[in-house]
Amino acid sequence: MQDVNSLHAAADEALRAIAQEISNCHRCMRLVAWRQAVATRPPRRFQGEEYWQRGVPGFGDPAARLLVIGLAPAAHGGNRTGRIFTGDRSGEWLFRALHRSGFASHPHSRSRTDAMQLRDCYITAVARCAPPQNRLLPEEIENCRPYLEREIELLWPNLRCVVVLGHVAFNWWKRFARAFVRADDLRSWKFAHGAEFHPMRAPVLLCSFHPSQQNTSTKRLTEAMFDAVWTRAKEIVYGEVR
């Protein structure tokens, strides 16, 4: 038990070091300029608040068996609060669902200093700065790639399931999976809500539509559809894979 605890403590320390690097990152000048610009003209509901305006690290349990990968922080969400998926409508959907499935201690997360704790779950993103129009350039994805790869390396010994939220996260993971999935098998991987893939000696991959306002307001993604993903993730994480 002591050895396991020591490994988890070492992973936590290493994840904190990565988080510090991310918060100090200035690799993508377009994103740096945007994350700062949006803070100068916040919507009325956020006027007077101090924005984070830095790269937004991953968040969660260093011993997680479930990894959740999103696109990027929201301009007035993570870019404001300093915590991924916190303070925006997508995050409201995500944390409610994670709470219902037992992975989150609370159904709401509004600040990086609140009481939210993730259990057996770690949330991260393809990019760590809010992009204009929620669209990343290929070079911006590549600039952020080492951060996510290093997080995965630290979490990998415990991971049983990865949930990707949207096409961009799916494509990122599909490229990452070249290291452990045959090219012929990868060609059969197609994104669809609820799709799952079972590579040998690697975490199960689950796909979900991103809980963006565009998807939720149009009912392309409903709460029942979203809950089904986390119910399935829970089955996989706790050994009930079928």
Which residue segments constitute the domains of the chain, with CATH numbers given? 2-237 (3.40.470.10)
Q: Alpha helices of 131-176 — where are they, by DSSP H?
A: 138-155, 167-176
**Rounded (5°) CA angle 61-106-151:** 20
Output the pTM of the full model: 0.95
Asked if residues 161 and 99 have their Cβ atoms less than 8 Å apart, the reply is: no
Phi then psi dihedrals of residue 208, to 5 deg: -140, 145
- pLDDT by 10s per residue, the chain, length 242: 457 677 788 999 999 999 999 999 999 999 999 999 999 999 999 999 999 999 999 999 999 999 999 999 999 999 999 999 999 999 999 999 999 999 999 999 999 999 999 999 999 999 999 999 999 999 999 999 999 999 999 999 999 999 999 999 999 999 999 999 999 999 999 999 999 999 999 999 999 999 999 999 999 999 999 999 999 999 999 985 54
Strand 66-70, strand 121-125: pairing: parallel
Residue 241: the pLDDT is 54
Report the alpha-carbon distance of residue 52 to residue 17 in Å, rounded. Answer: 18
The residue with tokens 């994104």 is 191
Report the alpha-carbon distance of residue 24 to residue 159 in Å, rounded. Answer: 27
